[in-house]
Structure 1
């Protein structure tokens, strides 16, 4: 190999000598002794005493090979090696607390890990490449040996009763072979070999099922198709578990068996779920034979491991920890739950099932959790306004608890609550402001953890003129009075246009307590400007008691500084959310939701509700581009499903039910945008990507609005339709002019491709079934289920370890691997280079520039491109979108430019701001860690800046805290 030969040529020391070094003289070695009682299993099976001096010798020669052997270098290397050896020995003995035998590969893994933790990247890279070359040489040598089939000891396993029975190796081999069928570049041999290595006499059934899964997982980094193999092996475990439960006897089945057995299993599953008081008894009244005949067992094979493991851990129904719901039963359960009130229930359920199980569309997490159950809380997002009195405040906190209990994500408008120092008439005292109550709301969200499925999640919104806004900005800081901090609550600024205009002109900005200026809460546009200027004059004249004036620019800088340091509060814009709202005739949008994509009216007696689902853009492409015909069918069926949610939904508070039935809003979004670009060889940072964002969103919007008119024709208009922008023939594309008129212009493209005039006429004559149709949610979890990139996000990395409530998962961009294979570039060195360069192609010389552009990662893309694409989408969307912004090298000037651009281009909201952290994924092989997260803690190392994102770990919208929308 290139690295190996270069080392030998420059130093005269080969890597073979490094890895197989004998201990140097005692005078030159550190004092780490052999660990008493520990032994090492060599590759030939021999067992020898563990000797730490061999580690120090190997490390010393490795450093000398790369860095040279001058006197000064030798002294420095000696000190480094001594410390590293002690650390490695300590780590090995800690990990072996349950046994005193180490494998030679484990020791070398730990050496590699130590080199990377110490940031000795050149030494580690040479070490990684040489190990891989030696492994290949050993495999080739082994293949050349004459085959002698050894007699294997007959192993036993413990069955469900604990009795020992012969281990069925024939079935084990058959299951692994079946899991590999039909997949390119995978082989059953390595999986079977690694599985056998981990078998022992008396192994339990669960451990036996887990062994091949873990073996397949270790191969994902070199071939993404092993993620499907691992998923299929997990299916075998699930089938045994589920079928044994529903049939009340030990059962197991291969995938081939399920071609016929699904039809037998499904009615038994429904019966078991009803008896366990989990499924709605109404499901038992469907024509179950017709339903079961429609199941498509082959669709079990399309899962990636991450998706299926997520479903297994958190979505499939279980009793006492035993999963009894198979994947196609899961999708059909959700479909039946959404078809309960249809005339042809079976026909609609089958159509819904086909859409879900094909991954063309996926409903949101609450719908997947609860559809078809006895408590079908199916809605994703709830928005509330908090009243300015104790009863109203604690009623809102109680509502938060009830709404979060069944997986709802929350957005609270706290602007009406009077600020610090405001007069309290009832006690003749002074208010402590909004912050103490936010602390209570924060703790409530953590206490109500959605039935153990994920943490409760809430976002508090405050308008920028509120007297407490400066304290609000500090809520997520890790310093200061902890009683005035909310470490778990998301926060967002609700920013009026007037503030942005004052920032631009370096004007003054006055803060008020809302009890003295209650009119500001419900006003926007020119009406807000007039009322605000009157309030400013009243403050100068002394007619307002609690106020503070400062430079708008100073407050803006502090907002950006806090966003930079803590990731909060997010920046969201009040005026475009209201001026373009179809429902401005019946209320005001006072906030967005947990994930900033919902913009619905709220008031003291009306809780806004939204029902979400996402189209998988990656499955709606042809060789010539977007498949409009398929997309029209998908969107039409999806809109019917989302509309059904409103009527079937289990409402925990009456204000939510009243609002949902009156306005009937839904939020159809998309996922797989990055996949769709890469499938077309389009770089995210390009005009072509911006144009595709425009085209795809226009098509989804067109078909969604048309589907809502079709539903209105069939079922009737939503009750508050009259007076809406819809009723006036003003569609989202038209409402841009309302914003432009209020601002004196807005930088938004107005290009149209489809026949909007005909649709406009149909909307005004027939009406709409839904007040709102469109919103792009983060899809943090459902995109995992479907195996595509989330939402509208650029790829975080091309090779990394993703962490969520289901564990740690190696993720490789399969489209990149396919592209590299086509050019003969996918090999062990490329894997090592991707690890070394943190999943980026940018610094890998042999990768062509066109691939670097198409597969650029999030921090390699100028955030301006994200905003331009978002603006093109926003022109079609009647609500908003969860837009994360990535900044590789943040500065005050850069953040100012980014957020001003977002406002100028007409965005309603932004979401998380992401920057690089000071830490990186460890470049050691993931094989030795079995997919566990290889990332150094970023807590101490992160410089002052944006919310830290540990490289090698997915951004926080993949964390359990941030999955309440989807």
Structure 2
């Protein structure tokens, strides 16, 4: 390979290179290049164009026609490279020479110039090998580097401390090299670097190595901890403070009481926290657990959870967990003992409370609940009160589900004005804009989901709400939507029957009816419409409406498909109300009315930490669930309620939603492929254990604290547990549903009847989009999305690599640079990599390689144990109408209560780059919930699988 492929600033063009339009972002804006010998020179974008021109002509030839074509290509590529470099300049507006070459390589791969890119990669490797043979790369002498303080003075860079911090960060981590991190760090140091930039440099250096060795994610987190310790200790104690992790073993004890006082002084912590025995709590802190974080988890906490004043964090990780624990123990008799117990569960990652609880526990505004469900009444005052309630509930991080079915439809008569209604849609637009306006203190956007029953006259317009075409005043681009589908509609679809749409002002009881009673009333209204007794109605072919529902789901990702009858027939609280909708993430199924706003308090067991290669650790799981249920029950009494309807409902019924995360990690520990009978059986077994222990814990609390007030008349009071209510649904449908069990349910059933329950509802599986990142495990019940990809969320972009897969490949001698390159090229999938054994391909199959029927079957096995629902994403390859119809009919037939996002492969994109050292600033893997062009969401925006706008539950 000729030297024309070297992106070196000394290179001279052999052919005319485009230069006219590529200077923006270069040396005139103050950007500089760090050379391999440590020298700093001005950044000149024209030299990139020169090198690219040589590269193309070296591979494709140098005819006149080729030169003209190359000129245009190079001009575009150079602009992209310069833009990417300036956008990702993170330290001192400088780039290392290797960074420039990385971006050149990336641009070539993105643009599809595979031959040129391959030649470029090989040439870089050859040159690196040549340099290594001749002489090691020169690192500038330490005395020549100085650090610039805030006041502008300079001091010698403390190389000894930098080396010590990096070495400490690597202690105990397999296949992690302090020398590699230091070498990468030195590439980005320059004379006059600031203290903050110096702290960030080793973090960024370690991040670049994560794709080659997952343990660098722990090293990156530990290096970030050093920066956080400096920030927090200085904020709490005053002056310039810093400490190593080893020093924190003793310093946490002094820091913690000072931290609590600081939080109270700045009016962020509840003054009641000062009444705890802070010395006792400080001695219970476990500083070593700071080392359990991976980089994504700690950075997420740093950006969005840790308390701060004007952007300066004063909360360290173990203080954070203890603060949450104290906030949940405020009403306990032995508050210190319970706080320590709660802290131990949280800081170990065995269980994690939901995001609102983590945000607000122990603070002056402890809004700890995750989800709120409302019913919107059919009058102007009630509609706008509901919009106001949305704003108040969203302000402190609650996710919202609104039942809009009672609102009369388009063309319905309005008695007060003797006019015609404009229907539901204009009010949905107001609710959409309110959700955007109330952004939860900047921590995340307000988020709401609107539900409408399938018989509502406005259902066809409702289906179009997320479209990009049509009257924008009748579109809600930022609101989630969901169909609330009665069983009768699904039966009409199966029969190819007619379906009649009504306005609820003429059919008010349909809203509250389900099962056989709904069928009777609905057919009565149909007869009335046929005889001229209805003013507003429309008849459609049920199959046509069903196809349109699936088409809109495919095209826009909404409305989701959720099922009214199983939610109500199996509801423990059917004696005191009706479930009219689910929540933002489709896992909550609680009663709502004009007088009651349903509230749910969420948290998730980390299943991965309760499973060994031998199976479930039942004793540990029982302990975790018992403590977790107490924490969730405490939320109800401590909670800061922004509207009285929520307080009334929560205290009357006391529902909680215990879920799980790390399901995929547990399967890989057990060596069970997701697409297997063994995985389905494990889903059944693990959820049965979780259900058993959760119900048992609620009974124990009822014996200690009393039953929830609306217990009498519930299914619980009749000895009908979730596993028993499966038969109620089967009887209503006239079918048979699977309901096998293995544990001693009869004795628990008798305890429930005689002692009662503390909580009306106990279980719900939420998405855990953020808290699973904190714990470093797979989300919820999700299959692995990719084995190597870049995850995008509100904290930035992060390389994610499946550590279990890397370990398995290392055991078989298959983990190398070629494997990393292949994983990138094949979008994180093993399927097309010939040298990977079939058993590993099956075990580490990614979401789109798993037939959705396996996901539905596993979810159906879980659903029989759950008194609420699950956030179930469905993945499909090359979707079409037949596949979607089969998938969603299967979900309904198997007794699922709800489904969540539909995700399709045609809308995915991953960087096919062989770059080294580019973590964090590549385009993230893109997944839209529908079949759209690569990386483009229905609203035209980039949409990632870990959508930062969809984290309201957890």
Compute the TM-score of the two structures, normalised by the length of structure 2: 0.94
2:299 and 2:938 map into 1 onto residues whose CA distance is 24
2:34 and 2:603 map into 1 onto residues whose CA distance is 53
Match in the other structure for 2:769: 780
Q: Do 2:21 and 2:75's aligned partners in 1 also have CA atoms closer than 8 Å?
A: no
| Superposition pairs of residues 531-546 of structure 1, within 5 angstroms | 531-546=521-536
Residue 512 of structure 1: how far off its partner (Å): 0.1
SS at match of 1:268: helix
2:368 and 2:526 map into 1 onto residues whose CA distance is 45
Match in the other structure for 2:629: 639
The 1:94/1:646 distance shift into structure 2, 3 A limit, reads closer
Residue 468 (structure 1) aligned to one of 434, 444, 458: 458
**1:882-940 CA distance string (max 9 Å, x none):** 0000012100000000000000000000000001245522223554544113259999x
Match in the other structure for 1:11: none
Residue 128 (structure 1) aligned to one of 121, 126, 134: 121
Match in the other structure for 1:573: 563
Match in the other structure for 1:964: 952
Residue 157 of structure 1: how far off its partner (Å): 2.1
SS at match of 1:684: coil
Q: Do 2:18 and 2:74's aligned partners in 1 also have CA atoms closer than 8 Å?
A: no
Residue 915 (structure 1) aligned to one of 900, 904, 908: 904
Residue 153 of structure 1: how far off its partner (Å): 3.2
1:89 aligns with 2:78: yes
Residue 31 of structure 1: how far off its partner (Å): 5.6
**1:235-289 CA distance string (max 9 Å, x none):** 0011011111111221100000001000010000001001111101111000111
2:560 and 2:623 map into 1 onto residues whose CA distance is 36
1:58 aligns with 2:48: no
Please list every run of 5 or more consecutive structure 2 residues that lacks an aligned counterpart in the other structure. none
SS at match of 2:909: coil
The 1:727/1:947 distance shift into structure 2, 3 A limit, reads farther
Q: Do 2:621 and 2:690's aligned partners in 1 also have CA atoms closer than 8 Å?
A: yes
1:947 and 1:18 map into 2 onto residues whose CA distance is 33
Q: Do 2:799 and 2:920's aligned partners in 1 also have CA atoms closer than 8 Å?
A: yes
Residue 84 of structure 1: how far off its partner (Å): 2.4
Q: Do 1:510 and 1:536's aligned partners in 2 also have CA atoms closer than 8 Å?
A: yes
Match in the other structure for 2:101: 108
Residue 110 of structure 1: how far off its partner (Å): 3.2
Match in the other structure for 2:395: 405
Q: Do 1:916 and 1:948's aligned partners in 2 also have CA atoms closer than 8 Å?
A: no
Residue 806 (structure 1) aligned to one of 792, 795, 799: 795
1:584 and 1:563 map into 2 onto residues whose CA distance is 30
Match in the other structure for 1:6: none
1:824 aligns with 2:813: yes
1:57 and 1:222 map into 2 onto residues whose CA distance is 31
2:235 and 2:824 map into 1 onto residues whose CA distance is 43
1:625 and 1:949 map into 2 onto residues whose CA distance is 42
1:509 aligns with 2:499: yes
**1:661-693 CA distance string (max 9 Å, x none):** 000000000000011111111111111110010
| Superposition pairs of residues 932-947 of structure 1, within 5 angstroms | 932-934=921-923, 943=932
1:385 and 1:578 map into 2 onto residues whose CA distance is 15
**1:112-133 CA distance string (max 9 Å, x none):** 2232222234543454355346
1:168 and 1:855 map into 2 onto residues whose CA distance is 44
Q: Do 2:588 and 2:868's aligned partners in 1 also have CA atoms closer than 8 Å?
A: yes
Residue 227 of structure 1: how far off its partner (Å): 0.9
1:728 aligns with 2:740: no
1:165 aligns with 2:161: no
Residue 58 of structure 1: how far off its partner (Å): 1.5
Q: Do 1:802 and 1:954's aligned partners in 2 also have CA atoms closer than 8 Å?
A: no
Residue 622 of structure 1: how far off its partner (Å): 2.1
**1:809-858 CA distance string (max 9 Å, x none):** 11111111111111111111111111111111111111111111111111
Residue 946 of structure 1: how far off its partner (Å): 12
Q: Do 2:167 and 2:178's aligned partners in 1 also have CA atoms closer than 8 Å?
A: yes
Match in the other structure for 1:8: none
Residue 56 of structure 1: how far off its partner (Å): 1.3
SS at match of 1:153: helix
Match in the other structure for 2:735: 745
Q: Do 2:601 and 2:632's aligned partners in 1 also have CA atoms closer than 8 Å?
A: yes
Q: Do 2:400 and 2:584's aligned partners in 1 also have CA atoms closer than 8 Å?
A: yes
1:18 and 1:926 map into 2 onto residues whose CA distance is 16
| Superposition pairs of residues 574-589 of structure 1, within 5 angstroms | 574-589=564-579
2:923 and 2:669 map into 1 onto residues whose CA distance is 30
1:291 aligns with 2:297: no
Match in the other structure for 2:478: 488
Number of residue pairs aligned between Structure 1 and Structure 2: 937
Compute the TM-score of the two structures, normalised by the length of structure 1: 0.93
Q: Do 2:792 and 2:944's aligned partners in 1 also have CA atoms closer than 8 Å?
A: no
2:161 and 2:656 map into 1 onto residues whose CA distance is 48
2:282 and 2:142 map into 1 onto residues whose CA distance is 43
SS at match of 2:143: coil
Residue 601 (structure 2) aligned to one of 611, 619, 625: 611
1:230 and 1:160 map into 2 onto residues whose CA distance is 25
| Superposition pairs of residues 693-708 of structure 1, within 5 angstroms | 693-708=683-698
Q: Do 2:5 and 2:52's aligned partners in 1 also have CA atoms closer than 8 Å?
A: no
2:178 and 2:595 map into 1 onto residues whose CA distance is 61
Residue 822 (structure 2) aligned to one of 833, 838, 858: 833
Residue 405 of structure 1: how far off its partner (Å): 0.3
**1:353-397 CA distance string (max 9 Å, x none):** 000000000000000000000110000000000000001000100
Q: Do 2:698 and 2:758's aligned partners in 1 also have CA atoms closer than 8 Å?
A: yes
1:336 and 1:373 map into 2 onto residues whose CA distance is 10
**1:564-605 CA distance string (max 9 Å, x none):** 000000000000000000000000000000000000000010
Match in the other structure for 1:356: 346
**1:155-188 CA distance string (max 9 Å, x none):** 3323455543332211111111100100011111
The 1:95/1:508 distance shift into structure 2, 3 A limit, reads closer
Match in the other structure for 1:5: none
Residue 77 of structure 1: how far off its partner (Å): 5.7
1:421 and 1:327 map into 2 onto residues whose CA distance is 57
SS at match of 1:707: helix
Q: Do 1:565 and 1:947's aligned partners in 2 also have CA atoms closer than 8 Å?
A: no
Greater Cα offset, 97-106 or 471-480:
97-106
Residue 649 (structure 2) aligned to one of 654, 659, 663: 659
The 1:944/1:20 distance shift into structure 2, 3 A limit, reads closer
The 1:805/1:507 distance shift into structure 2, 3 A limit, reads same
Residue 945 of structure 1: how far off its partner (Å): 11
| Superposition pairs of residues 199-218 of structure 1, within 5 angstroms | 199-218=189-208
2:497 and 2:563 map into 1 onto residues whose CA distance is 19
1:100 and 1:451 map into 2 onto residues whose CA distance is 31
1:672 aligns with 2:665: no
1:266 aligns with 2:253: no
